[in-house]
Amino acid sequence: MNIADQHRSVGRPREFEEDRVLDAVMNTFWNQGYEGTSLKDLCSATGLHKGSLYQAFGDKHQLFLKSLKYYMEQSFKEVAASAYLHDSPMANLRSLLNEITTKCIEGEGCMVVNSMVEMAPHDQEVKQMIDQSYAMKQRFLTDLIDRAQRDGEITIKQEPDRLAAVLMVTLAGLAATVKGFSNTDHISHVLEDVLSSWA
């Protein structure tokens, strides 16, 4: 019995899996935004009544924060794995960017970028979460770039963190642009093109 279950050992047991609900909530906020999502939307997405949602996760805002955190963890896990497939840092960087691009196009964007645009300017908590996630990802990229530079596979005309900043902005741009167009042919190769210009 772990700590998370401990306070549930007494009383009526939950009829839902927390992660499954969080996943449904996440998806709803992801493609409708915070203001565009009503509690009714969340109820029909999760199959729960709002009373249950409130009791289990708190109000709409807390629910959003938790689903955003969930998104950040899940999406990073899903994607970071592809940066360890090869021996060469450059190959790893390439497959990481390809993976992100593919996921981004399939999933029609990125919940972090959506939240950055919609909420960050008016929501300190969201802003803070994004700040952390951004810093971590930037370090991740900087490290890969640094090693690729040492291997001589990337130009050393720029510092690794500046190149990483370019990637971060380009990735955000990809996530934003994907939402505007049905045909994504003209943007699917953008990350590759940026990378190839660093040869």
Binding site for a copy of itself (CB under 8 A): 31-33, 35-36, 108-109, 113-114, 116-118, 120-122, 127, 130-131, 134, 155, 157-158, 162-163, 165-166, 168-177, 179-181, 186-187, 189-190, 193-194, 196-198
Q: C-beta of 56: minimal distance to a copy of itself in Å?
A: 25
Shortest Cβ distance from residue 39 to a copy of itself (Å)?
14
Partner whose footprint covers residue 176, from a copy of itself, DNA, none (CB < 5 to 8 Å by kind): a copy of itself
Only one residue has tokens 């998104």, namely: 71
Q: Which does 166 bind (CB under 5 to 8 A by kind): DNA, a copy of itself, none?
A: a copy of itself
In angstroms, give the least distance from the CB of 164 to a copy of itself.
9
d(CA 130, CA 124): 10
Could you tell me how far CA 114 lies from the centroid of its own chain? Answer: 10
CB of 35 to DNA, least distance (A): 8
43 or 176: CB nearest DNA: 43
Q: Which tokens in the block code for residue 113? A: 């970028």
User: Any long-range contacts for 93-102 (C-beta under 8 Å, 24+ apart)?
Assistant: 93/141, 93/144, 93/145, 93/148, 93/195, 94/192, 94/195, 96/144, 97/167, 97/171, 97/191, 97/192, 97/195, 98/191, 98/192, 100/171, 100/174, 100/191, 101/174, 101/188, 101/190, 101/191
Chain residues in the site for DNA (CB under 7 A): 7-16, 37-41, 48-52, 54-56, 59-61
181: left (phi over 0), alpha (psi -120 to 50) or beta: beta
Residue number, 48 or 90, with CB nearest to DNA: 48
Q: Which does 181 bind (CB under 5 to 8 A by kind): DNA, a copy of itself, none?
A: a copy of itself
Residue 11: CB minimum distance to a copy of itself, A: 38
